[in-house]
Amino acid sequence: MSEDAMIAEPVMRVTHIAEATLGGVFRHVCYIAPALVARGVSVELILSPRRADPDFPERLRELREAGVDLQIVPMARRPAPVADFIACRQIETALRSSQPHIVHTHSTKAGIVGRWAAAGVSKVAKVHSPHAFGFEQFRDPVRRPLAMAVERRLAGMTERYVLVSEAEKAVACAVCGLSEEKLTVVLNGLPGSALDTVLPRDEVRARLSIGSDELALLFVGRLAPQKGCDVLLQAIARIGLRGRGGRLYMMGTGPDEGKLRRMADELGISDAVTWLGFVADAGQLVRGFDLAVMPSRYEAMPYVLLEVVGAGVPLVASEIPAHFPHPQMRRYVRAFASGDPAALGQALLAAIDGVATRPGAPNKDAVAFVRDSFSLDAQVDKLLSVYRSVLRGTDQG
């Protein structure tokens, strides 16, 4: 063996930072961090406990067992100058100790605090994944331009943006004005285990006390304005779901829960809606339902989309680019005009008619499509390629 061959390649050290330890962002880091460790990468994960799913402690245990080094740094979701300054200093101290080659921040607040902290540490490349840019939640003429200006400022200290869909890249270019050479799309993917452990219809229905002949519709996600739950409830009222022998099951919690429950009362559909709250293994349960609904106003690329289609369950989703990351997705998803209850109602009725012809039968083509096109292995392969490119100082589009 030559002397060169005996010299081991240096271990890549990557620190991921996330304030949002719930929903899709946390799912993202919980998937990729152990997968990177399995590829020989040294991974540190800096997380905030303030805005977390109920199973946060269990996820931390799994991450530790997978070899991920965890650091807990409280971060505030909203602007909080004192708290943000403290978090920035704590993160900077952690980075000086671990000396990563790359700092990869996720979502808005971690993207701000984490990149500022990393700017004070020499020889650290900064990568950011917005998971839907923060300014997308704003429509007013004050906060939206301000949020965009902050991102443009941070772009100057960011070597690469890793975006989870072409839709997110389009926003980065057209709305935020980011240069294409800084942008790389790495599609979200699912581990094979997530598809292999989907529970059968009868088992799910027995667990959730859903009648074998009941028409069961599913929503999974945060109960927040982004997700369009208000549009969904209005559509359910329009089509008279209960009169059709159907019920809507809402999996998730969030800031709008009280408002949405009152809306259901006011619309007279309380008897047609079951609020399941947070469900840790929601992705394993989707095959117990006849139809799933995703009425989001905007997204980056939701995991629920992959889980539903990957389980072979019919899906009605808003016509936004993030819901169609691949042209073939339109074979399995019925679209409606985002924000339009009447359009959603019509789409639901058409989908319900389709369900009646194949009750409970998963679409095997859809299952194979997701398995082949959206794998975690492919995602991690490309992410590692991005990291190596950043460290070499070369461009990758």
- The two structure tokens encoding residue 200: 């059968």
Q: Per the domain annotation, does 158 fall within a domain? A: yes
Strands 315-318 and 291-294: parallel
What integer pLDDT is reported at residue 114 of this predicted model? 97
Q: How many domains does the chain have?
A: 2
Q: Per the domain annotation, does 102 fall within a domain? A: yes
Q: 197 with 126, same domain?
A: no
Which domain range does residue 196 map to?
192-373
What integer pLDDT is reported at residue 9 of this predicted model? 59
Q: 333 with 381, same domain?
A: no
Q: 183 with 298, same domain?
A: no
Q: 310 with 387, same domain?
A: no
Which CATH number covers residue 315?
3.40.50.2000
Q: Per the domain annotation, does 2 fall within a domain? A: no
> How many C-beta atoms surround the C-beta of residue 101 within 10 A?
18
Q: Per the domain annotation, does 5 fall within a domain? A: no
Q: Per the domain annotation, does 173 fall within a domain? A: yes
Q: 180 with 202, same domain?
A: no
Q: 278 with 204, same domain?
A: yes
Q: 383 with 363, same domain?
A: no
User: Rounded to whole angstroms, what are the CA distances from 285 to 183, 199, 252, 392?
Assistant: 35, 6, 13, 43
What integer pLDDT is reported at residue 149 of this predicted model? 84
* Residues whose CB falls within 8 Å of the CB of residue 290, separated by 6 or more in sequence, listed in order: 215, 216, 217, 313, 314, 352, 355, 359, 360
Q: 239 with 105, same domain?
A: no
Q: 100 with 240, same domain?
A: no
Q: 161 with 247, same domain?
A: no
Strands 273-277 and 333-336: unpaired
Q: 156 with 18, same domain?
A: yes
User: Rounded to whole angstroms, what are the CA distances from 327 to 131, 200, 364, 369?
Assistant: 21, 28, 18, 11
Q: 267 with 227, same domain?
A: yes
Q: Per the domain annotation, does 359 fall within a domain? A: yes
Q: Per the domain annotation, does 23 fall within a domain? A: yes
Task: Give the distance, in angstroms, between the CA of residue 268 and the centroid of all CA atoms in the same chain.
Answer: 32
**pTM of the complete model:** 0.92
Q: Per the domain annotation, does 292 fall within a domain? A: yes
Say if residues 351 and 215 touch (Cβ distance below 8 Å): no
Print pLDDT tens along the chain (397 aa).
444 444 445 799 999 999 999 999 999 999 999 999 999 999 999 999 999 999 999 999 999 999 999 999 999 998 899 999 999 999 999 999 999 999 999 999 999 999 999 999 989 999 999 998 877 777 777 787 888 888 888 989 999 999 999 999 998 888 777 888 999 999 999 999 999 999 999 999 999 999 999 999 999 999 999 999 999 999 999 999 999 999 999 999 999 999 999 999 999 999 999 999 999 999 999 999 999 999 999 999 999 999 999 999 999 999 999 999 999 999 999 999 999 999 999 999 999 998 876 667 789 999 999 999 999 999 999 999 999 999 998 444 4
